[in-house]
Amino acid sequence: MCSVPPPPPPPPRTLELKQINSPELPSHAEINPTPKFPEICEWASGNLELWEACAKNSICPQNAPFSYKYTPFESILQVGPTCGLAALSMLVKNKVTASAMLNITRTEGYSNKGEMLSCKDMVKLAEKVFRLAELENVNCTLVNGELFSNDVIEKLLEGAVLLVPYDADANHSPCLRQGHKAHWCLVSGVIIINAPGDSLDSDSNNVYVLCKHGKSRYLATWKLQELNNSNRNLWEFSPPRGTDSHLYMLPEGGIGGENGLRNQFVIFNGL
């Protein structure tokens, strides 16, 4: 009996490969690209932090300012009521930490919890910290008077840095709350928008300062006049809710007196 052989297997199917139009995987450099600045605040594009602050607040978005000076400092966040210590630690590039400064303030009787409610004590602390940080040729001066002045603006343009107490609003910008939200900031730059008139302080809308403080990592831009007004309004200390006011070291005469914070700030030259 004859058997019929099975039919041969079918020929292999030819698969048509379709190209998937997906982008190539980026290289490492493309994953973390060098920032490309749009055509806004191009004058500040040499420093990303400065550019972000000015672009966000529309400061000279198209044309370069008449004049500006900025000295960058790394942000340091405060722990507890140590805003002044955090600002000072930024100034010395953390060569002396805020925690180490807290020990000094307690030993010297400047504060209990890190609060610095006296500009005179801040000068004394700064001098001790500079010695520990081995920073030489830095001049530290307590100033009583107007922050918004031709003299102060000139010094900022020359590279001076300030420690300024002020009242902080909910977004940490300067406000007028009689000192109930007293805070410290580090002023490390100034921007003169347009050519000034007879003096640098002839127009309160023409001068901005570049600031950092212990409650944000971002560079802030505020009108110098508004910071000045806030500094002059520090009349009385109000402890945070739920705390005992006796835990805080108040200077004689309170923060509104000559040993306190009102209408005072500290200026540093030679950094």
Give the pLDDT confidence of 162-202 residue by residue, as tens digits. 999 999 999 999 999 999 999 999 999 999 999 998 899 99
Give the domain extent around 239. 65-269
Q: Please list the active-site residues.
A: 83
Q: What is the CATH number of the domain that holds 97?
A: 3.90.70
In a domain, 58, yes or no: no
- Please give the tally of structural domains in the chain: 1
Residue 64's identity, in one-letter code, is: A
In a domain, 241, yes or no: yes
In a domain, 154, yes or no: yes
Taking the C-alpha atoms of residue 80 and residue 37, their distance in angstroms, rounded to an integer, is 37
Strands 182-192 and 207-213 turn out to be antiparallel
Which tokens in the block code for residue 153? 């603006």
Residue 113's identity, in one-letter code, is: K
| pTM score, whole prediction | 0.84
Taking the C-alpha atoms of residue 163 and residue 161, their distance in angstroms, rounded to an integer, is 7
Taking the C-alpha atoms of residue 236 and residue 254, their distance in angstroms, rounded to an integer, is 6
Give the mean pLDDT of 119-130.
97
In a domain, 174, yes or no: yes
**pLDDT at 7 (0 to 100):** 54
Cβ-based neighbours of 250, under 8 Å, separated by 6 or more: 117, 237
Taking the C-alpha atoms of residue 130 and residue 72, their distance in angstroms, rounded to an integer, is 19
Distances (CA, A) of 7 to 1, 2, 4, 12, 92: 19, 15, 9, 15, 89
**pLDDT at 90 (0 to 100):** 98
The count of residues in the chain is 271
In a domain, 152, yes or no: yes
> Mean pLDDT of all residues in the chain?
88
Q: With CA atoms as reference, report the closest residue to 191 among 211, 212, 208.
A: 208
**pLDDT at 37 (0 to 100):** 55
